[in-house]
Amino acid sequence: MTKRSIAVVDDDRTVLAIIHAFLTQCGYEIFTANSIAGCVDLFRDHGDEIDLAMIDVKIGRESGFDLADILEQDFKFYDHVFMTAFFWEERTLEKLLERGKPYFEKPLKLEEEVLPFLKEYFGKDETLS
């Protein structure tokens, strides 16, 4: 079984720590960044190791949608999903639907939603937990 690597990008260090601890315990290798620049650096150093990026829609004053565009344009990396606490904002929902990528509403339901998604995304035959 191949160990899968996930980049998690969120400006909230507590959220990063919780996701990191949970998914590491489930057998994933987790890289974290709290800004667009930090994620770009992460992809420069480890881009060939990363299988999926989980990107917050609002990274401080920066846009997770902008980060997704950078990953696609500069790194040809298209395997990303979004997270948001602002699902209720009409413009956020419109952008999520336009992009057609999976997304998770915060607070994240790691065990009930994220983990089953990852198992499905990476293949049903993987048993990481």
Q: Using an 8 Å Cβ cutoff, are 12 and 106 in contact?
A: no
Q: Using an 8 Å Cβ cutoff, are 55 and 11 in contact?
A: no
Beta strands in 1-129 (DSSP E): 5-9, 29-33, 52-56, 58-59, 62-63, 80-84, 103-105
Per DSSP, 95 falls in state: H
SS3 state of residue 63: strand
Q: Which CATH number fits domain 5-122: 3.40.50.2300, 3.10.450.230, 3.40.980.10, 3.90.1580.10?
A: 3.40.50.2300
- The residue with greater pLDDT, 19 or 127, is 19
Residue carrying structure tokens 């191949």:
2
- Residues 54-81 have pLDDT tens digits of 999 999 999 999 999 999 999 999 999 9
- Residues 71-128 have pLDDT tens digits of 999 999 999 999 999 877 788 889 999 999 999 999 999 999 999 999 999 985 444 4
- Residue boundaries of the structural domains of the chain: 5-122
